[in-house]
Amino acid sequence: MTALQERWVHLASHFGLDLQIEVPIDLSGSAFVAPVLLKNFGPKHGMVLVTSFGEVSAYAKRLVTAGYGFSTLGEPSMIEGNEASVIEVLRDWGWSGPGSAPAWLGHDAA
């Protein structure tokens, strides 16, 4: 497991996030494996999280067309701050899951 995956598995456990690791995504016949897929945030199918744009550059337009967002986060230390900084990142992506956003996200999250 990569450092990014380990960090987001920890965050998923802490915040109760719907997260998947090493998710194959079919993009018009091209196989792309998302290192981290965070559901319920961003576009309807969630956010693909990577450490460098090079990981998604060949797939970026097709990911967006297929209903995914993506974010280049760099190494995990960039998001290791306190809870408030993680919540801010999640709030920026926006809640797209069913029902109301989690209370910890704040009422302006949608």
Stated length of the chain? 110
Q: Is residue 82 part of a domain?
A: yes
Q: Is residue 20 part of a domain?
A: yes
Work out how many domains the chain is built from and give that number. Answer: 1
Question: Domain of 10: which CATH number?
Answer: 3.40.1350
Quick one: tokens of 47?
């956010």
Per the structure, the complete domain to which residue 84 belongs is given by 3-103
Q: Provide the CB-side half-sphere exposure for 49 (13 A, CA).
A: 27
Q: Is residue 110 part of a domain?
A: no
Quick one: tokens of 92?
């920026």
Q: Is residue 109 part of a domain?
A: no
CA distance 14 to 74: 21
Tens of pLDDT along the chain (110 residues)? 898 999 899 999 999 999 999 999 999 888 899 999 999 999 999 999 999 999 999 999 999 999 999 999 877 654 556 778 889 999 999 999 999 999 998 855 45
CB–CB of 16/67 below 8 Å? Answer: no
Q: Give CA torsion, residues 53, 57, 60, 63, to 10 deg.
A: -90
pTM of the model: 0.89
